[in-house]
Amino acid sequence: MQMGIRPESKVRRGIAGLLPLLMLCAYLPAQQGDYTFRATTEVVLVNVTVRDRDGNLVRDLKPADFTVLEDGKSQKVLSFDMENTDAIPPANVAQAAAETAPAVAAVAPSTTSAQVFKDRRLIVLLFDLTSMEPEEVERAVTAAQNYVDKQMLPADMVSIVVLSSNLQVAQDFTADKDQLKKVLQGFNTGEAAGYEAGSSGTTEGTADTGGSFTSDDTEYNIFNTDRRLQAIRAVAQKLAHVQQKKSLIYFSNGMDRTGIENQSELRAATNAAVRANMAIYTMDIRGLQAVVPGGEAQSASLRGTSAYSGASMQSAFDSNFSSQETLVTLAGDTGGRAFLDSNDFGKVFKGVQNDTSMYYMLGFHSSNPARDGKYRRITVSVNRPGLKLDYRRGYYAPADYQHSTRDDRERQLEEQLASELPATDLPVYLSAGYFRLSEGKFYVPISLVVPGSEIPFTRNSDQDKATLDVIGEVQDEKKRPLQPLRDTVKLAISTSNEVQRKNVQYNSNFILPPGKYHFKFVLRENQSGRMGSFETDFTVPDLKAAPLKMSSVFLSSQLQPDNKRSDNPLVRDGSQLIPSVTHVFASGQHLYLYYEVYDPAHAAAEKTSGNGNGNIRVLSNVAFFQGKVKAYETPLVEVQEINVQSRKAALFQLDVPLAQLKPGFYTCQVNVIDDAAGKFTFPRLALMVR
């Protein structure tokens, strides 16, 4: 089952079209010309599959047999249709192959498109080249070719979409097998390398200004799964006007959550698919996987006791499960299915065909006119006993901003903060880290970024103005809110073009004890009312048991003057480090790395004398790797005394000219050694140099 909301527009021309005003207008002379009346309403569509006790499809139900409830209130069924993909007999294969639907990206709701898609099984093949190795791309393409050759039915209309460096439609909906095979044969497995790492950005400017590099929207999602979820959402939104049920088959090798994803994107993608009548079928193209004790041949040898305690096996299973968890969620929440741990890749196509053989499509106008964005539950029943119904259980109502009062707008922010459905109309990105202030007390700076191109400005005298509302909270493991945040950011500049090419970054902080937390923030621009959410889990570690106690590593290319007295650890010597959210830098910049080591050991002679303020010896440098090859390494820096007495910390602030690195992706490894204690740690971060 799937459910969606279809915009329905009616245009009546002439006096006869104005039915309520027919009597009043009866004496108007004809030469006054035609009148145009436009009315727009929203029809809620519910796709229902009905089976009997034996699992057979029930094909003889009528509109009067159905009862539809929304939040317990009866709804009048205004439209009823039965989509039967078995209606096209095999004899019409040649005719079906000759039919090609309008472009996916350009198709408009019309009678023509409705006729083209009537009684058709609409299948979108989405190949995620950013996540697959070349041999996996070849495996996915082979599976699709086998489907076209052996399994494709006359009712099937297939579109091919590719996600590589961008999202593109390789083939519109068509039933032409030859055309589909031609497109599939043209796949270049070299594209599976993923994102382009060439130089595409400016390199002029100095390292301590905000204008040395301008990041764009895509850079915020380079190192996590958000970009793939946004691609799925984009496909759903483009197909939302097509009434029939759509099935998207997503080929990938899993979705590993790196910990910096926006959890709102996952719920936004599933909700967009639900509203668009699109079920997602996920295919893990890695196939059946065996977890080998001790690791596979290409893996390095294990260290420590994990190979003997079973911890390494548990970690391997957990890693595999986590890469499949998002695939299962996408499928389950949209009415599709996940196909995992199987080398029979044809099952996904058979599953789609079985699920979309025949279904009823019911349409109704909601009796609830409120545009409050709240979840509305749908219940469908039939007047025959013993039948099983499959359909989505609800949808989220649209929300209106322009007609709301100040109190309503504040309430909207609070409701969005509490809502399970995230708002993602406004792109929002977040980074966070931690510094230890004292035992059991940590300073957690957070940075929220909105691309300047997404902020509309209004002209007021000689300045362009805009405002952003910020609301957020920190929740503990039991989902209890701990620290709220509410602020309004006012932007007033001489020309909005300055911001359009850059980004607006909001910095704040929380004071937290060690523990696991959930961050949620909502931003709204107050011109059109668009809102964006960012949610993520964050852990403040208990450093008491850590072999080497260390803060987060902060990357930046920007320093700004700050002479105020502050407990912000990012402020030092009259300058504040502005954390980078994207970890994407220009080759002409300087990369600043900032981190602290707490309670480093003192030399043996100092321990004997009892002098707690004696010399220490902490060594650190940074190495940059491309794959397994070390591309560059900075000289060792040695700290011999506690240089932040209030936090009992040895502070490191390294300056790396990025002209030393060629454009591309790097793994930045920070090497930290407490020589007196004989302890070390090597935190790693991903970054990109353009």
- Please state the rounded mean pLDDT for residues 209-238: 71
Report how far residue 247's alpha carbon sits from residue 349's, in angstroms, rounded to the nearest whole number: 10
In this predicted structure, which of 142-151, 494-503, 601-610 has the lowest mean pLDDT? 601-610
pLDDT value at 191 more than 60? no
Per the structure, the complete domain to which residue 520 belongs is given by 402-540
pLDDT value at 689 more than 50? yes
User: Quick one: pLDDT band at residue 165, thresholds 50, 70, 90?
Assistant: confident
Last residue of a domain, one of 396, 414, 443: 396
Q: Which residue has the higher pLDDT, 202 or 587?
A: 587
In this predicted structure, which of 104-108, 223-227, 464-468 has the lowest mean pLDDT? 104-108
Residue 192: predicted pLDDT: 42
Last residue of a domain, one of 366, 396, 426: 396
Q: Are residues 328 and 275 both part of a single domain?
A: yes
pLDDT value at 534 more than 70? yes
Specify the pTM: 0.63
Q: Are residues 271 and 307 both part of a single domain?
A: yes
Residue 655: predicted pLDDT: 93
In this predicted structure, which of 374-378, 508-512, 516-520 has the lowest mean pLDDT? 374-378
Residue 414: predicted pLDDT: 86
Cα 139 to chain centroid, rounded: 26
Examine residue 228 and state whether it is found in any structural domain, yes or no: no
Percent of the chain with pLDDT over 70: 74
**Mean pLDDT score of the chain, rounded to an integer?**
78
- Orientation angle between helical segments 177-185 and 134-146, nearest 10 degrees: 170
- Please state the rounded mean pLDDT for residues 102-129: 65
Q: Are residues 331 and 183 both part of a single domain?
A: yes
- Cβ distance 265 to 165 under 8 Å? no
> What separation, in Å, do the N-terminal and C-terminal C-alpha atoms of the chain show?
45
The pLDDT tens digits for 16-60 are 222 222 223 333 344 445 555 554 567 788 888 898 988 888 888
Q: Are residues 589 and 521 both part of a single domain?
A: no
Q: Are residues 505 and 568 both part of a single domain?
A: no
- Please state the rounded mean pLDDT for residues 98-117: 48
pLDDT value at 296 more than 90? no
Task: Label each residue of 613-676 as H, E or C.
Answer: CCCECEEEEEEEEECCEEEEECCCEEECCCCEHHHCEEEEEEEEEHHHCCCEEEEEEEEEEECC
Examine residue 444 and state whether it is found in any structural domain, yes or no: yes
- Please state the rounded mean pLDDT for residues 335-357: 86
Report how far residue 576's alpha carbon sits from residue 51's, in angstroms, rounded to the nearest whole number: 65
Tell me the backbone φ, ψ of residue 595, rounded to 5 degrees: -165, 165
Report how far residue 676's alpha carbon sits from residue 618's, in angstroms, rounded to the nearest whole number: 8
Question: Could you tell me the CATH number of the domain that includes residue 110?
Answer: 3.40.50.410
Residue 34: predicted pLDDT: 53
- Please state the rounded mean pLDDT for residues 370-380: 80
Q: Are residues 532 and 607 both part of a single domain?
A: no
Residue 196: predicted pLDDT: 33
Strands 584-585 and 571-572: unpaired
User: Quick one: pLDDT band at residue 4, thresholds 50, 70, 90?
Assistant: very low
Residue 456: predicted pLDDT: 84
Question: Could you tell me the CATH number of the domain that includes residue 525?
Answer: 2.60.40.1470
Q: Are residues 485 and 419 both part of a single domain?
A: yes
Examine residue 198 and state whether it is found in any structural domain, yes or no: no
Q: Which residue has the higher pLDDT, 489 or 464?
A: 489
Q: Are residues 119 and 254 both part of a single domain?
A: yes
Report how far residue 241's alpha carbon sits from residue 4's, in angstroms, rounded to the nearest whole number: 9
